[in-house]
Amino acid sequence: MPDKLDDVARLAGVSAATVSRALRGVRGVAEGTRARVLAAAAELGYAVSPAASSLATGRTGTVGVIVPYVDRWYFSRIISGVERVLREAGISLLLYNLGDDAGRARFFAEFPLRRRVDAVLVLSLPLSEAERAQLLSLGAPLVTVGTEEPGADSVGIDDHGAAVTAMRHLVQLGHREIGFIGETAPVPLGFTTPLRRLAAYREVYHAVCREDGRAPEAGFETGGGFTVSGGEQAMGTLLGLPRRPSAVFAASDEMAFGALRALRRAGLRVPHDVSVLGFDDHDLAGLLELSTVAQPVAELGEHAGRLLLARLSDGKILTSPAILRTRLVLRGSTAPPTTR
Amino acid sequence: MPDKLDDVARLAGVSAATVSRALRGVRGVAEGTRARVLAAAAELGYAVSPAASSLATGRTGTVGVIVPYVDRWYFSRIISGVERVLREAGISLLLYNLGDDAGRARFFAEFPLRRRVDAVLVLSLPLSEAERAQLLSLGAPLVTVGTEEPGADSVGIDDHGAAVTAMRHLVQLGHREIGFIGETAPVPLGFTTPLRRLAAYREVYHAVCREDGRAPEAGFETGGGFTVSGGEQAMGTLLGLPRRPSAVFAASDEMAFGALRALRRAGLRVPHDVSVLGFDDHDLAGLLELSTVAQPVAELGEHAGRLLLARLSDGKILTSPAILRTRLVLRGSTAPPTTR
DNA sequence: CGAGTGAATGCAAGCGCTTGCAACGTCGAG
DNA sequence: CTCGACGTTGCAAGCGCTTGCATTCACTCG
């Protein structure tokens, strides 16, 4: 039984319509009246009912954020960034965590954000034709981070370019035998980021092999599931190979951490025996002296938030995706190979 | 212009009232009718408008989750756990990130969840009298994780007991000079968890000092802000002390990680020169061979989710908080002190 | 001085659902 | 055969806002 618009109206001595207008700052209300209304509202501690307002206007003051995982470093940072800018704009954030293919299927089947949000943000998730259509059918702006979708604004980094730079660094150090830890097909949830990093790896590694006049080692491409333990296993696989790589490029720092562990357990020293290069610049990368590709994760989130706000107010969609800069951070895990 | 209840009603050849009842599974609708309605709704891809429904019933199908940070390991895991169980129950999660005191003040001033949620979950945040009153004034169930509040259900761990166990482990190994890395007053956002762990530290450490007939080193209590870099600095402080501790108990793994780094930089070996014990069992604790107190973070979140659902359906509040078990995980960062 | 103008305000009709109550069979019991 | 009970369904009144349109009023201008 909280107060309603009418209570405020009565207290301020005006009609409900005027209160509504005054509270929302709509023009057409005399200054004095507005002040009186505001005072009355403050006195009663009144706040409009989002449900009623939403029913009347069709707007919800809420955006839906769809994430594959919330408890991974990358995603939690992005969410944090988005949340910050939305909160400052007075917009609430409805969080939907997919988790896996089943969760994803359920989400799109039930589609809980129907009529619940004014805009949607999708993180790192390439959409199927049907999913995109479904999302767009909401008639709400769609923004993506890390993927590009027709009809959506997007922010991201140049995954391919960044990975090529990373690989070139290893090559320049003198490495010719470079392993990769990423994701093996089928990639969970259809992520394309791992594929882009893999493609960059291949491009550089295969070029090196061509120069050396030999075939690329097929076994050098391993999957680590973007987790520490996955990375550890993948490194184990790499170490079991007849021809061992002298350097490893991991598509995420967390996998690189796992690789470091596997190496340590195997009694190998980094970077003396094997160089390791990661991707992300995770909080702990510095701690572990991991060389890596830094990407501005918090900024990605904030930028996405700003894109949402922009789309919410003017609705225009940017023609090209915003690409944020990455940079190679060299620490102690990469060095020239030692001849063995 | 999505379909509305009436469209479904027309298609099914019944009244809107019947559709409403059929869709929600309310008793009092003939089986055949219900089937027809469901079919019609499916055919149109109809879904009720949450706003309208909420306006009519007063329920929102949403719970608000208030967190101090989303991008810290502990919180992101909890959120993930909560989200999972809520999602399975078809409930949406509105996320509010406080960030700092200013954000907290703003949150309670604007109080955006007023009339937006059916229940509220507060993570790790001790509430002021006023804040608690404000939250309870929503008339919605309140659940907390990591704190206890009158009028709220809660889940947590036995921080004090767990920390005492951790400290005793160090003592049993033979350590008498034990440093602490936690939070120094004023604790940000008024967290009490750091204080409980500090109290446990003192209890054990002071007892040891009494046995040895000497005064506790005041400088042994340092603050690391629950971050890696904070932990690193704190360890630096500890190392600068005239009498250096032979073991350090960090109130979080992330601070322990920082401590490890400071030690490595100082050229000291763990556990040979200094033992380090953390708290959390962070994903990377294994990687760094950190001995720690494991707490079931995901379970805390899931339990909180279940508590919310229970409160949402029957409204009864548990008399006592649920305490989940912790356990000491011994890895390679703790060992008996070496006489120097 | 009257008509015209524009700003400020109020009226009332929705927005799309839920739900108490009435209406309408149908059926079994008396 | 009548009546009451019961299971189904529909009616219509909200739920608390927003907003197009009408109204009122104070001015300005010719």
In this structure, is the dihedral angle defined by the CA atoms of residues B4, B10, B13 and B18, taken in order, positive or negative?
Answer: positive
CB A51 within 8 A of CB A10: no
Q: Is the pLDDT of residue B1 over 90?
A: no
* Cβ of residue B332 closer than 8 Å to a chain A Cβ: no
Residue A219 per-residue DSSP state: G
> B166: helix, coil or strand?
helix
Contact check, Cβ <8 Å, B70/A76: yes
Taking only the tens place, the pLDDT of each residue in B139-152 is 899 999 999 999 99
Three-class SS of residue A12? Answer: helix
> In this predicted structure, what is the pLDDT of residue A3?
84
Residues of A in contact with B54 (CB under 8 A): 51
Which distant-in-sequence residues (6+ apart) come within 8 Å of B78 by Cβ? B67, B123, B145, B297, B298, B300, B301, B304
Phi-psi region at B186: left, alpha or beta (left = phi > 0; alpha = psi -120 to 50): beta
Residue B185 has pLDDT above 80, yes or no: no
* pLDDT over threshold 80, residue B155: yes
Contacts 24+ apart (CB under 8 A), A190-198: A190/A125, A190/A126, A190/A128, A191/A68, A191/A124, A191/A125, A191/A126, A192/A126, A192/A147, A193/A124, A193/A146, A193/A159, A193/A251, A194/A226, A194/A251, A196/A159, A196/A160, A196/A163, A197/A159, A197/A160, A197/A163, A197/A251, A197/A279, A198/A251
Quote the CA–CA distance of B191 and B146 in Å, as a whole number.
9
Tokens of A217: 């080692």
Percentage, residues of chain B above pLDDT 70: 98
**What pLDDT is attached to residue B34?**
92
Q: B190-215 burial, b if ≥16 CB within 10 A, otherwise e?
A: bbbbbbbbbebbbebbeebbeeeeee
| Nearest nucleic acid nucleotide to A30, CA to C1' distance | C8
pLDDT, average across residues B92-98 = 96
Which residues in chain A have Cβ-Cβ distances shorter than 8 Å to B71?
Answer: 73, 76-77, 79-80
pLDDT computed for residue B315 by the predictor: 65
3-state secondary structure A19-73: HHHHHHCCCCCCHHHHHHHHHHHHHHCCCCCHHHHHHHHCCCCEEEEEECCCCCH
Regions of chain A where pLDDT drops below 70: 1, 315-317, 319, 339-340
- Tell me what the mean pLDDT of segment B163-176 comes to: 97
Residue–nucleotide distance: A4 CA to C11 C1' (Å) = 18
Give me the pLDDT at residue A230, please: 94
Q: Measured between alpha carbons, how far is B249 from B70 in angstroms, rounded to an integer? A: 25
Residue nearest to nucleotide C12 (CA to C1'): A17
Residues 6+ apart with CB under 8 A from A247: A170, A173, A175, A177, A178, A179, A274, A275, A276, A277, A334, A337
Q: Which residue of A has its CA nearest to B47?
A: A114
> How far does the CA of B28 sit from the C1' of D5, in Å?
15
Q: How far is A115 from chain B (nearest CA, A)?
A: 6
Higher pLDDT, B319 or A165: A165
Strand bridging mode A322-324 / A291-294: unpaired
Tell me what pLDDT residue B319 has: 65
Chain A nearest-CA distance from B212, in A, is 36
DSSP assignment string, A230-258: HHHHHHHHHHHSSS--SEEEESSHHHHHH
* Cα torsion through B100, B132, B326, A262, rounded to 10: -30
- CB nearest B94 (choices: A70, A90, A93): A93
Name the residue with tokens 């490595």. Answer: B264
DSSP sequence for B233-272:
HHHHHHHTSSS--SEEEESSHHHHHHHHHHHHHTT--TTT
Contact residues, chain A, for B84 at CB < 8 Å: 97, 99
Q: Can you give the distance from the CA of residue A56 to the C1' of nucleotide C14 in angstroms?
A: 8
Local confidence band at B56 (pLDDT 50, 70, 90 cut-offs) = very high
Helix, coil or strand: residue A122: strand
Which structural domains are found in chain A, ordered by start?
6-57 (1.10.260.40), 62-156+297-323 (3.40.50.2300), 159-294 (3.40.50.2300)
CA of B26 to C1' of C13 (A): 31
Comparing CA positions, the residue from A30, A110, A35, A36 lying closest to residue A66 is A110
Burial A301-313 (b: 16+ CB within 10 A, else e): bbbbbbbbbbbbe
All residues of chain B having their beta carbon less than 8 Å from the beta carbon of residue A115 are 2, 47, 49-51
User: Given CB atoms, is B116 within the 8 Å cutoff of chain A?
Assistant: yes
pLDDT, tens digit, 9 for 90 and up, residues A169-209: 999 999 999 999 999 878 999 999 999 999 999 999 999 99
The one-letter amino acid code at B241 reads: L
Q: Does pLDDT of B259 surpass 70?
A: yes
pTM for this structure? 0.93
Q: Does B226 touch chain A (CB under 8 A)?
A: no
